[in-house]
Structures are given as structure tokens and as C-alpha cells.
Amino acid sequence: MHQPHPNPRFIAVLEHEKKHIERQKELGVFKFGLKYLFFPRFRFQEELLAIKEGMKYLKRKNLAFDTDRSAMFLSSWLYLWMVTYARAKKELDKAWESIG
């Protein structure tokens, strides 16, 4: 169903996923997939790139981004424990503050 004013948080998720698609096109889907699966540092950097795209959209809409919640997800089994909570939180806070 088409809504004239979609939820901005859903749009932020679409911006996030769009960035993943762009990166897959740049690197090639196969190479991206292998690196994403087997290299936690690569996986974390790719997620940060994508998250920043969603953050930019939310900032433009004057909405908050929950760095605590996102850090919990990034440091969990959902992302194969790619990073500690403390590091994820630090990087997400830094990213949020850097977006003007």
C-alpha cells in the first residue's frame, strides 16, 4: 500500500541497504560475499559505511539514531560477533557526531 509519508526510519533502512548494493556492485557480489562472511574487520567496515547512510538520512529529518541498540546488534551473533560492543558503540557514536 502506498503511503504519502512513509516512516523515515524505513527510508533510512533502505538507504543502508542501497549502500550495500552499491558496494557489492563495486567489488563484485562473489568477492563481497566471501569477504563479508570470512573477514570480520571487512564486515564491520561495510556495516559502518551502510549505517552512516541511514544516519545521514535520519539527521536530515532531525531524528535520533540509537547507537546503543545498533552496537548491541553489531556485536551479537546476528553479525557473527564481528566486533565488541565497546568498539561498535565508540565507532557509531563517532560516526553520528561527525555527520553534520
8-52 tens-digit pLDDT = 999 999 999 999 999 999 999 999 999 999 999 999 999 999 999
Domain ranges of the chain: 8-98
pTM of the model: 0.93
Which residues touch 41 (CB under 8 Å, ≥6 apart)? 82
Kindly state the percentage of the chain with pLDDT values over 70.
99
In this prediction, residue 3 carries a pLDDT of 75
Q: What is the pLDDT of residues 28-37, one digit of tens each?
A: 999 999 999 9
